[in-house]
Amino acid sequence: MNNKKYKIVLVGGARPNFMKIAPIWRELIKQKDIFELFIVHTGQHYDYEMSKVFFEQFHLPTPHYYLNVGSGSHAYQTAQIMIAFEKVILELMPNLVIVVGDVNSTIATSLTAVKLNIPIAHVEAGLRSFDRTMPEEINRILTDRISDFLFVSEPAGVENLLREGTEESKIYLVGNTMIDTLSYHFETIRAIQAKNLYNLESHKYCTITLHRPSNVDSKENLQKIADILNEASKYVKLIFPAHPRTTKNIESFGLKHIFDSINDLQIIQPLGYFEFMSLIVDSRFVLTDSGGIQEETTWLGIPCITLRENTERPITITQGTNVITGLDFDKVRQALKRANSFDRGDYTPPPLLDGQASQRIIKILRDFFAQ
């Protein structure tokens, strides 16, 4: 091996990125003999509960570059990130940019890097919902197209990439870095008992998260969601750490009184990672439209009802923990019955959700650069 150090930029921007970059960072810093490392935070998410709390809890360093782009339309946000990230790339001229997930920060930074001929590693590559109305689907397809290392979390991702004509040599099935974080911190999470703060008892409540534009940017759909939560409240108590987008829309559509009238529903601020995962761990079941929570509940063996029309994470369905219902009231009613009586039995998570994905990724990168 030569003595050259390779510069790696690890990008995070929005809440679901931070639990994916944390274990990669932890592994990368063990390789300081060959890598010089930089974290770039785009600032797509900026509230304390959406961003900084995760850096504190995961002991991530203060980002070396904070781009401070904030909110805006897709074009505005993507463009702002590109302009700011280009300056970082030109200053560092890194050997690799690592991006994770499917948010606007993922495609914006990848697109900037590829135009400057910087190689890209995409963590969580290959997932497809086959629904191009989702901004994340566009972000995933385009990021994969321009990436050099495609680190895939579940077998369907490999099939999708091959079908799209991706060179096999770029594809690595490594598992899920979000689950690396969950398994690494599992004992801490279990010890927190966040439910006590909200007067909830183990397995007698449901944790809810909803923030997809298709669900919460429409008054009609938010009304349907209120009906669904009302139905769920017949089984268990409800706790809903609400995304700022959701809280703002419930208020601006004049629906607050409807949500306030749902029995035993507590709507609270977004939570830090440990507190939030602690609520999930002790839930009887979960109602969500998140991508990552479908995977976390699959690792935990907790029933999940996904209020979306599709999922890009089919392993969560074949494992039997997750059910896709959209906002179809009858489907939700069936799913609630099933979730309420779900037998966790001797549940075993899928093999690649084993907490070792980041180690596999860093080994691949180390071997590549060491050559």
Active site residue ranges: 211
Size of the site for ligand UD1 (CB under 6 A): 19
Task: Compose the 104-123 pattern: x for residues touching ligand UD1 by CB under 6 A, - for all others.
Answer: x-------------------
**Could you give the CA distance from residue 108 to residue 75 in angstroms, rounded to a whole number?**
10
Q: Which of 46, 253, 342, 347 touches ligand UD1 (CB under 6 A)?
A: 46
Identify the residue whose tokens are 């063990």: 30
Calculate helix-pair angle for 357-370, 15-28, nearest 10 degrees: 50
Q: Is 242 in the site for ligand UD1 (CB under 6 A)?
A: no
**Cβ of residue 343: shortest distance to ligand UD1, in angstroms?**
30
- Residue with smaller CB distance to ligand UD1, 106 or 283: 106
**Cβ of residue 77: shortest distance to ligand UD1, in angstroms?**
6
**Could you give the CA distance from residue 263 to residue 228 in angstroms, rounded to a whole number?**
12
Q: Which of 8, 10, 15, 80 touches ligand UD1 (CB under 6 A)?
A: 15
**Cβ of residue 27: shortest distance to ligand UD1, in angstroms?**
24
**Cβ of residue 301: shortest distance to ligand UD1, in angstroms?**
23
Q: Which of 12, 16, 23, 157 touches ligand UD1 (CB under 6 A)?
A: 16
Task: Compose the 148-167 pattern: x for residues touching ligand UD1 by CB under 6 A, - for all others.
Answer: --------------------
Q: Is 127 in the site for ligand UD1 (CB under 6 A)?
A: no
Residue 124, phi-psi category: left (phi > 0), alpha (psi -120 to 50), beta (remainder): left
Residues 54-93 that bind ligand UD1 (CB under 6 A): 71
Q: Is 211 in the site for ligand UD1 (CB under 6 A)?
A: yes
Q: Is 243 in the site for ligand UD1 (CB under 6 A)?
A: yes
Q: Which of 20, 41, 45, 224 touches ligand UD1 (CB under 6 A)?
A: 45
Q: Is 221 in the site for ligand UD1 (CB under 6 A)?
A: no
Q: For binding to ligand UD1 (CB under 6 A), which residues are involved?
A: 14-16, 44-47, 50, 71, 102-104, 135-136, 211, 243-245, 248
